[in-house]
Amino acid sequence: MLRAGGGVAAGVGLAGCSSGPKPVEFRILDVELLNTHEEPHSGTLLVVEDGEPIYRSTIDADGAEDPQAGGGLFEGLPTEPGRYELYGWHQNAASDEWAHLSFDAGSLPADGVPCVDVILMIEPGREAGVRSFFLRSLGCDE
């Protein structure tokens, strides 16, 4: 079941796209979009489980005005623990520029199902352009 607005584009080609270890189960608390670039951008979040897209949503973020970044919270995220992979990007980003986040057994605590808060950042790149990346924190303090 795909949650949130918008369909997933055919031909995204996500099945088998990650070459690392199989993701371990975790729970998503929140995902926030922050745009620190001075121009407005849209940011898209895609959540995949077992190679299948289950959530996709886009937020239009205002440009940053010092000291305030544009952005917002993604709504309607999966609430149950799962073996998720998160992909995030700004408009016009090529698929090889998408930010990717997943966890393997060595990157999470062994006791219980961990929870994550995630920020999808859009910021000016080192060269001309814009880059997207994830920041995350672990813990179930809701």
Mean residue pLDDT of the chain comes to 79
Lowest mean pLDDT among 17-31, 58-72, 80-94: 17-31
Centre a 10 Å sphere on the Cβ of residue 13 and count the other Cβ atoms it contains. Answer: 9
Task: Give pTM, 2 decimals.
Answer: 0.79
pLDDT tens, position by position, 46-66 = 999 999 999 999 999 999 887
Centre a 10 Å sphere on the Cβ of residue 74 and count the other Cβ atoms it contains. Answer: 24
| Yes or no: domain 27-138 corresponds to CATH 3.30.70 | no
Strands 41-49 and 27-35: unpaired
- Give burial (CB, 10 Å; 0-12/13-18/19+) of 44: buried
pLDDT tens, position by position, 61-83 = 999 887 788 899 999 999 999 99
Distance CA 103, CA 24 (A): 6
Domain locations in the chain as residue ranges: 27-138
**And the tokens for 31?**
């995902």
Cβ within 8 Å of residue 56, ≥6 positions away: 2, 4, 5, 6, 7, 8, 44, 45, 46, 47
